[in-house]
Amino acid sequence: MRAMVLDAPRQPLRLAELREPRSEPGQLLVRVRACGVCRTDLHVVDGELAKPKLPLIVGHQIVGEVVGEEGRRVGVPWLGWTCGECRYCRTGQENLCDRALFTGYDLDGGYAELAVADERFCFPIPWGYPDLQAAPLLCAGLIGYRSLRLAGDAERIGLYGFGASAHIVCQVARFEGRRVFALTRAGDDEAQAFARSLGAEWAGAALTGPPDELDAAIIFAPAGELVPTALRAVRKGGVVVCAGIHMSDIPSLPYELLWGERVLRSVANLTRRDGEEFLELAPRVPVRTEVEVFPLEQANEALDRLRRGEVRGAAVLAP
């Protein structure tokens, strides 16, 4: 099979012809129809996350057809395996499992024609979603959904960074009757117009701040300096959720910004329950994903465009 392989961090992926993987009992062999490109892939390729399996096939938003079961589509997400025994697994927090294995990081992922996944961690793809449009639901959508839940019942919600995840969360938040404020880099008129087209009532520069106080903020951009910016924008008792797996250092900040029972927290990974809930909700909204499609062998170009913030919506590879 053809695959894009990471031999070492900070190197471009290499197009390779590999032997077809085999599934073991309990695993599915999946013919990849689409694989979303996530910012986490960029962090892995750029060497910002410690100790990926090497060589590695990245990619953890896989939509594919199970080989030998015509018409059965599954989604393979970031959470690839958990131990089922640790204190986290036993208390509904499998996203924090000490021994978890992640797709496209500890396990080979979906920048390939075939992938193997533990069946217990795969999701059925909601009917009505074409393969390419379904792929971003599996991480951008799922992690966004978990972040939104952790933001509580906030009415006025600020989204910092308007990429793949925010463009989905914006639609879910509007469906739930919330008010959305999109905060982007100064001068990113295109992202701001995109946010307004998806129901944000205001879109502007993060540093200028929203016109109204926020009840909660979700930071999708990997920029630590947004933490004090977002804390400054939320009301007393409000929540700031950091949704990414990696962020540049957070600058020191006056305690006054946290005072007033403001909460600062991160979101790590997903549970299977998040996946079931979100994939049930998405068609009811209905969430429509905007995708930019690249052939498999252009994975490096897709990552470059994401790195430069040039992707509108989500980038998806089509093997």
Tell me which residues touch Zn ion (CB under 5 A): 38, 40, 82-83, 86, 89, 97, 139
Q: For 180-245, give the DSSP string.
A: EEEEESTT-HHHHHHHHHTT-SEEEETTT--SS-EEEEEE-SS-TTHHHHHHHHEEEEEEEEE-SS
Distance CA 191, CA 164 (A): 11
**Minimum CB separation from Zn ion for residue 17, in Å?**
27
Q: Nearest Cα to 123, choosing from 282, 313, 266?
A: 282
Query: Nearer to Zn ion by C-beta: 90 or 265?
Result: 90
Q: How far is the CB of 165 from Zn ion (least distance, A)?
A: 8
Say if CB 188 and CB 160 are below 8 A apart: no
Give how far Cα 46 sits from Cα of 8, 147, 251, 260, 315, Å.
9, 24, 22, 38, 17
Of 55, 63, 152, the C-alpha closest to 105 is 55
Could you tell me the smallest distance in angstroms from the CB atom of residue 38 to Zn ion?
A: 3
Backbone dihedral angles phi then psi of residue 28, each to the nearest 5 degrees: -110, 140
**C-alpha to C-alpha distance for 152 and 223, rounded to whole angstroms:** 23
Q: How far is the CB of 181 from Zn ion (least distance, A)?
A: 24
Q: Please, which residue, 181 or 278, has the CB nearer to Zn ion?
A: 278
- Assigned token pair, 297: 């062998």
Minimum CB distance to Zn ion, residue 99 (Å): 5
CB-nearer residue toward Zn ion: 40 or 229: 40
Phi then psi for residue 156, to 5 deg, are -95, 110
Nearer to Zn ion, 89 or 241 (CB): 89
Whichever of 98 and 213 has its CB closer to Zn ion, that residue is 98
Would you report the helix, strand and coil content of the chain in percent, each value rounded to 5? 30, 30, 45
Minimum Å gap between C-beta 121 and Zn ion is 13
Closer to Zn ion by CB, 86 or 281: give it: 86
Is residue 291 within 8 A of residue 267, CB to CB? The reply is no
> In the complex with Zn ion, which residue's Cβ is closer, 82 or 289?
82
